Amino acid sequence: MTNPASRPITTGKTSSAGGPQYTYRGAVIGSNAKGTVFSFRLEGFPHGPNGYWGGLGHIDVAVDLIDSWMDHRKLPPPYVTPKEAT
């Protein structure tokens, strides 16, 4: 669960999808203008090109994925694959 004291910070910039851009634990999180789709980029994150993950429905999902990777170096269920689970 996300620590409320440690939340994404708005950068004041607009993301490439037209919504607010945030920073959180070294990640850059972007959203669409409606705030219904989120993506992030985190150096060393093991998904997508250059640590990119997109299509998340809520910023808390991005935060949970970032926290899991930063704290445990693995993805949480249901994002973990059977190979990673062993």
Share of the chain above pLDDT 70, in %: 86
Rounded average pLDDT over 48-53: 87
The partner residues of 29 in beta bridges, in order of sequence, read: 22, 40
**Which pLDDT belongs to residue 77?**
81
Sequence spans of domains, the chain: 9-85
Task: From 73, 26, 79, 86, select the one nearest 56 (Cα to Cα).
Answer: 79
Q: What is the pTM of this model?
A: 0.83
- At residue 86, does pLDDT exceed 50? no
H runs (alpha helix) in the chain: 59-72, 82-85
* Angle of CA points 50, 72, 2, to nearest 5°: 90
